[in-house]
Amino acid sequence: MRVLILTNNVLGLFAFRKELILKLLSDGNSVSVAGKYCEKTGFFQSHGCKMIETNIDSKSVNPLKELKLFRKYKLIIKEENPDIVLTYTVKPNIYGGLICKKNKIPCISNVTGLSASIVKGGFFSKLLLFLYKRAIEENKCVFFQNQSNLDFFKSLNIVNDNSKLLPGSGVNLKEFDFINYPDDNNKISFLFVGRICKDKGFDEFAECARYIISRYDNVTFDAIGEIEDKNLNKLIKQCVNDGVINYYGLRFDVKSFYGSHHAVVLPSYHEGMSNVLLESLACGRPVIASDIHGCKETFDDGISGFSFKAKSTSDLIEKVEKFINLPYSSKVKMGVEGRKKVENEFDREIVIREYYKEIFRQNLYVL
C-alpha cells in the first residue's frame, strides 16, 4: 500500500508517530512524508521513507501563502498517487482533506487539538470550522485526542460515525521508561516543557516561579522549549537574570530532564492530549497541570498529580505549595501511580493498532 503523510513538521512525526511509520514500512508498505524538514529527516530517509519538503507556516493567514501550500499539496498528491493519506494538525487536515475528497482518495485525519484561532471564536474561527466540515465530513476516519474536541465537532455536525477517540498520541513506554525518583536531599525542582508561548501558560509559570522562589530557598524552576512567542523573550531574560527560572532552550534529551526533576508543571490553556504529561508520567514524575481536556485525562488528581484552574496563577501557586509540603514518600508514590496509569491507558501500541484497523479495515495488527 502507498501511504502519504501530511504534517506540519517532521520533528513532530519523529517525537510522536515514528513507531507507526516504522511498522508500516516493516510490513512492506511504501511511505512518503510531506512536512517541514528538521534534523530528524534523515532518520526517516534511512528507514526507507520518501521525504518531501513543505515549508508550512502553521501561524500564517496570508492568502497567497495558503494558496501556495494548497497547490503544493495538490501536486504532491497527484505525483504520489497514494492509496491512503494520513493527515495531522489543522492545515494538513483541511487542505489535504479537501484534495482527497475531490479525488476520492481515502483519508484519515487526526485532530491533535483545537487551534488557538478556533478557541478564540470570531470570524476566523467560523471560517476554519466551515473548511473543516467540507474537508473531513467524508473521511474514512477522523481521530480525536480527547472527548471534548470530539463532542465539539459532533455538535457542529462536522463529523459523524467516521469519528473515533484515541488516547492522544500515546507514549512509547520503552523509550520513556520508569526512572527512580531523585534522592531526598530537601531540594525540589519543577520543570516546564513545551513551546514558550502564552497558550502554554508560560506567563503563569513565570509568575508562580517568582512567588515561590521568594519564599522557598530549596526550590528551583527550569524550562525547556523553543520560544514561539517573541514577546516572551523579555520575560524569559528577566526571569533568568533574576534567578527565577533556568532556561535551557530547545532540547532533545528531554527524558534526562524528566529524570532529574521532582514534578512537571503545565499551565496550558488548551491541548489535544498532552504528550509532555504522558512522557513525564511514564518516567514516574508527578504532574501539576491545568484542569482542561487534554491534560486532566492523563492523571488522577491527588493521586498522580494536582490539577488547577487554567489561567489562574493563584491556584497554580496553591498546588505547587501543596506539592512542596508533601512528604518525600508521597511524592515518590505519586510518580509510581502515574506510571501505572499510562501503562494501562496510554501505551502508544494502542494508537498503532487503531490506525491499522482503519487503514486496512481489518485487525491485521495484534498487540
Instruction: Check if CATH label 3.40.50.2000 holds for domain 2-170+347-360.
Output: yes
Dist CA 295 CA 275 (whole Å): 9
The Cα 303–Cα 330 span in angstroms is 9
Same CATH topology for 2-170+347-360 and 188-345: the answer is yes
Identify the architecture of domain 188-345 in CATH: 3-Layer(aba) Sandwich (3.40)
Question: What is the C-alpha separation between 176 and 143, in angstroms, rounded?
Answer: 24
What is the per-residue pLDDT for 113?
84
From residue 208, alpha-carbon distances to 145, 312, 315, 353 in Å are 29, 10, 10, 41
Domain locations along the chain: 2-170+347-360, 188-345
pLDDT value of residue 247: 97
| Distance of alpha carbon 140 from alpha carbon 163, whole angstroms | 9
3-state SS class at 101: helix
One pLDDT digit (tens) per residue for the chain, 367 residues: 999 999 999 999 999 999 999 999 999 999 999 999 988 999 999 999 999 999 888 777 788 999 999 999 999 999 999 999 999 999 999 999 999 999 999 999 999 988 777 877 788 889 989 999 999 999 999 999 999 999 999 999 999 889 999 999 999 999 999 999 999 999 999 999 999 999 999 999 999 999 999 999 999 999 999 998 888 889 999 999 999 999 999 998 999 999 999 999 999 999 989 999 999 999 999 999 999 999 999 999 999 999 999 999 999 999 999 999 999 999 999 999 999 999 999 999 999 999 999 999 743 444 4
